[in-house]
Amino acid sequence: MTDQFDVVIIGAGPAGYHAAIRAAQLGLNTACIDKWVNKQGKPAYGGTCLNVGCIPSKTLLDASHKFAEANHGFADIGINIKGIEMDVPKMMARKDEVVANLTKGVAGLLKANGVAVFDGAAKLNAGRNIEITLHDGSVKSITGEHVVIATGSVPVSIPPCQLAEDIIVDSSGALDFQTVPERLGVVGAGVIGLELGSVWQRLGSEVVVLEALEEFLPMADKQVAKEAAKQFKKQGLDIRLGARLTGSELKGQKVEVSYSDAEGDKTEIFDRLIVAIGRRPYTENLLAADCGVDLDERGFIYVNDLCVTNAPGVYAIGDVVRGPMLAHKGMEEGVMVVERIAGKKPLVNYDCVPAVIYTHPEIAWVGKTEQELKAAGDVFNIGLFPMVASGRAMAANDTVGFIKLIADAETDRILGIHMVGAHVSELISEAVIAMEFASSAEDLALTMFAHPTLSEALHEAALAVSGHAIHIATRKRKKK
């Protein structure tokens, strides 16, 4: 017999489990299928984000940042500690514990909300019938009045750099090193390359990042990217741009990497190599030929702005569809889709998706960059406030970076906010709220911010748009 559900969600990553919980809250009879098994061979929910993505990487980033601060920053503020050591296996065990707690938490939430969970691999057939190969090998068939695909993404691999044992690894492997590599190579100066490169650099690795593009962080505001590059260089991250990989060869317990750049052919020997050159949508063995769901030319499931696929009653969300591969983007899509199934009319505002890189300094932005606005011929004003002028940043001995606010020259509406500095992963939400509510720079300028906080830098950046920042000396102030 085939079980019938109002909604069947394939994938329990952040996109899928948010959809499942919200669907159940709305009173829909909901099933969620996921095939993930953890290192212990047990089902684990939360997808890439909880198991091998956001959460484990941030656990290691936080631990390694504390270690780096204790080593290099504490003496400045009068704390003298001798003989600081990093116990890498303990850090890893704690990371595994955080992951286990959170993945179990998702299992608990799904259960508490009455979601029927199936542990196994799903295949979508015609008529929204789903065939599940459960982990014990048995096959179960269920049908959904609506089906939501949330099967996520996997790392891209390239022929010159095939994964090998624990020496050439992808991001998942890089979250599991039990010792600090003496020399670490990273292919790709994107988000993962910078975050995981930072983790191991802080713990003592000599890190070389090989990036194919000539430009560093092209998706970020140029001024932010320039400041970040300066800080990473100071920390010792050796980022080599315009480096085109040509091959890699294992040499005992090391790897020799060949690449070419403007100066010619080069080789480097590393103890470990992390390949972090992007992720691709994951749809392997998912779609029966007659299920009606189409892929686009890049392999993403084709959807419209409402995450509706070409097959009636079938939706797709998260990394498996167009748009930034970010957990929060997938979560919002999941909630939107099931609320629309339940008759509500929410939309995802794709103009207000925050991006964060959790290095130190952190990098965060929402909206358009200065270069994008210039290219579009927009006329705008910029307010910039350096963290060095923030009392709270000074108190915390962490004054790197700035906040930059871009507002339309005519309407003053905020078009983009770009941040580089400590804790900007938290501050960016204030910027998102402002943009979501279509604020002008003046709206923010007229808002009261608690003192002393890092958030005041956002206030000052808004004031700076019209030349009225209090804590920066502006020679030529506009009269207003």
State the residues that interact with ligand NAD by CB under 6 A: 158, 187-193, 195, 210-213, 245, 276-279, 324-326, 356-358
Of 449, 435, 480, 439, give the one whose Cα is nearest residue 385. 449
Contact between 170 and 163 under an 8 Å Cβ cutoff? The reply is yes
- Full 3-state SS string of 84-142: CCCCHHHHHHHHHHHHHHHHHHHHHHHHHCCCEEEEEEEEECHHHEEEEEECCCCEEEE
Work out whether 14 is an interface residue with ligand FAD (CB under 6 A): yes
**CA gap 469, 459 in Å, rounded:** 8
Q: Which amino acid is at 36?
A: W
Which residues within the stretch 303-332 sit at the binding site for ligand FAD (CB under 6 A)?
318-319, 325-328, 330
Q: Which amino acid is at 366?
A: V
- Among ligand NAD, ligand FAD, none, residue 33 binds (CB under 5-8 Å by kind): ligand FAD
Q: Which amino acid is at 245?
A: L
**CA gap 382, 386 in Å, rounded:** 13
- Among ligand NAD, ligand FAD, none, residue 151 binds (CB under 5-8 Å by kind): ligand FAD
Rounded least distance, CB 258 to ligand NAD, Å = 12
Rounded least distance, CB 359 to ligand FAD, Å = 11
Interface stretch with ligand FAD, choices 104-112, 146-154, 246-254, 263-271 (CB under 6 A): 146-154
Rounded least distance, CB 431 to ligand FAD, Å = 16
Of 355 and 388, CB closest to ligand FAD? 355
**CA gap 334, 10 in Å, rounded:** 11
Strands (E), 393-442: 402-408, 414-421
- Among ligand NAD, ligand FAD, none, residue 36 binds (CB under 5-8 Å by kind): ligand FAD
**CA gap 207, 198 in Å, rounded:** 8
* Annotation says 451 is catalytic: yes
DSSP-derived 3-state class of residue 346 = coil
- Among ligand FAD, ligand NAD, none, residue 187 binds (CB under 5-8 Å by kind): ligand NAD
Of 9 and 245, CB closest to ligand NAD? 245
Of 412, 421, 430, give the one whose Cα is nearest residue 385. 421
Interface stretch with ligand FAD, choices 64-72, 81-89, 145-153, 389-397 (CB under 6 A): 145-153
- Among ligand NAD, ligand FAD, none, residue 12 binds (CB under 5-8 Å by kind): ligand FAD
How does 379-401 read in b/e, with b if 16+ C-beta sit within 10 Å? Answer: ebbbbbbbbebbebbeebebbbb
How many Cβ atoms are within 10 Å of 103's Cβ, its own excluded?
22
Work out whether 119 is an interface residue with ligand FAD (CB under 6 A): no
- Catalytic site residue from 328, 418, 423, 451: 451
Among 23, 92, 286, 457, binds ligand FAD (CB under 6 A): 286
Of 364 and 389, CB closest to ligand NAD? 364
Work out whether 364 is an interface residue with ligand FAD (CB under 6 A): no
How many Cβ atoms are within 10 Å of 357's Cβ, its own excluded?
23
β-bridge partners, 143: 4, 129
Catalytic residue numbers, as ranges: 451
Give contact residues for ligand FAD (rule: CB under 6 A): 10-16, 33-36, 47-49, 52-54, 57, 121-122, 150-153, 171, 192, 282, 286, 318-319, 325-328, 330, 358
